Amino acid sequence: MARRKFDIPQMYKSPVIRKVKEANKITDPRKKNLAPTTLDFGPVRFLIPRHFGFCYGVENAIDIAYKTVEENPDKDIYLLSEMIHNPTVNEDLQRRGVQFLYETDGTERIPIDSLDRDDIVIVPAFGTTVEIQQKLKKKGIDPYEFNTTCPFVEKVWNRGNQLGQKGYSLVIHGKHKHEETRATFSHSASHSPAVVVLNPEEAQILADIMTGKRPQQDFDKWFAHKSTDGFDPLKDLEMFGVINQTTMLASETQEVMKILKQAAAEKYGEEKVLNHFADTSDTLCYATNENQSATYALAESGPDIAVIVGGYNSSNTMHLVEILEHHCPSYHIRDAGEFDSPAQISHFNQWEKKVVESLNWLPTDDQPLSIALTSGASCPDILVDEVMLKILSFFSDARPIHDVISPFEDKLASVE
C-alpha cells in the first residue's frame, strides 16, 4: 500500500523520538535492520526499537477524525466507540465535543435512534458491525462518509468475503469481545459460517474436535458463544480459512494456521489439504509484523527493564509487553503520569486485568542502566518522549538531550 502523508495534530508530534525514526529511515530505507537504536545518556541508556508507535491505520483515523471535527463546528459529532485504544487521543476528541455511542465492550451509551440524519458518525479504526451499519442507514446516516476503518482490517474482510463466495467457512483468530473481532465476525457471518479462537490452545481443541479426538459436544463448551448459529465443526470445517484480528501476535496466528492445517491434512490427506485449507497468510498486517519483529529484537538486546507506553485496553500494546516480559521486568503504562519517582510506578497487569503498583521499579544504582522503551501502534510518540524525559530527570548526571540527539539531527540535515 502506498504510504501517503497524513495531517497529524502538532501536539502528538515528538521532538526527540521523531528524529531517531526519521534518521533510521535514511540509513535503513528498506527496513532490513531490526537492531534497536541506543540513546546513551551515560548512567542510563534507552534502547529504542526500529518500528513502533503510530501505524498507517491509526494515522489515517486521526487525520480523518480531526479534519471532521475542524470542518464541522456546528454539527453534533459522534464516534461509534473509542477511535483507537489510546486514552490521550480519545479524551482530546471528547474535549472537542465528540461523543461516544458505545463503550468498547459494545454497551450502548447513546441510542442510535436518538440521532438525526444530519448528525455525523465516525466509524473507528477497528471498523464496525453490519448490524450497526444498518442501524445508521435506517436513520439516514451514511456509515461510510466518515469511515476510519483501518485498510488492513478491510483487507481481512475482503479476503474473508472472497473465501465465503467460494464456500469456505472462516476461523477468526482474535479476542471475541474486542471491537475489531466483533466487526470481523459480523462481516464474516454475513456470508460464511464463522468461529473465533483465542490462541493456539483453542485452535488445538478445535482441531481435535475436527479430527474426532474430542467429542463434538466440546464445541459447545468452548465455542458456542463465539460462533455463528448452527456451526457444525465436522461439516463447516470441510473447507475453511483462517483470518485474524490484526493486532494479535502474528506468530500466534501462524501457529493457529499451522495447527488447523495439520488437522485438515490428517483428516483429508496431505495431498488434498489445499482443497480444504485456504492459505490466508497474505492478510497478516504489515505494521503488526514489523512492530512485533522489532520488539523481539529489542528483547534480545539485553535490557535491564522495559517500559511500554500505550492504552490499557490496547491489544497490540499488550502483545509487546508479552514479548518483553519474558526477558526482563516490564511495565505497561499509559503515560508519564503513572510514576513520580524511582520508588513506585502504577502499571497495567494484563494477566490480572488491573492496574497494580510496583516498588523500586527503577534501579538507579545499577549503572549504566539499559531501558527498553517502546509503545503501541495507537500511542503518540510525544508520550514516549515525556516518559523518557521524566526518567532522565532521576539521573542528575545524565548527558543533555541535545548531545545525544545531535548525531540524528546531523543525519537529517545532511539530506535536506
Q: Which residues are catalytic?
A: 180
Residues 310, 376: contact at Cβ < 8 Å? yes
57-72 burial code (b ≥16 CB/10 A, e <16): bbbbbbbbbbebbeee
Is-cis flag, bond preceding 368, omega within 30?
yes
Nearest CA-CA partner of 345 in 298, 397, 391: 391
- Alpha-carbon distance 305 to 292, whole Å? 18
Nearest CA-CA partner of 169 in 277, 256, 253: 277
Q: Helix, strand or coil for residue 303?
A: coil
Partners of residue 99 on adjacent β-strands = 78
Alpha helices in 72-123 (DSSP H): 87-95
With 0-12 / 13-18 / 19 or more C-beta atoms within 10 angstroms meaning exposed / middle / buried, residue 340 is exposed
Task: Tell me which residue has cell 479504526.
Answer: 125
Residues 105, 165: contact at Cβ < 8 Å? no
Q: In what order do the strands lie in the sheet with 77-79?
A: 99-100, 77-79, 120-122
**Which residues, including other chains, have CB under 8 Å from residue 161's CB and lie 6 or more apart?**
187, 191
- Alpha-carbon distance 406 to 95, whole Å? 36
Number of H helices, E strands in the chain: 13, 15
**Which residues, including other chains, have CB under 8 Å from residue 275's CB and lie 6 or more apart?**
239, 268
Residues in the chain: 416
Per DSSP, 142 falls in state -
Q: Helix, strand or coil for residue 316?
A: helix
Q: Helix, strand or coil for residue 106?
A: coil
- Alpha-carbon distance 214 to 9, whole Å? 54
C-alpha cell belonging to residue 4: 501517503
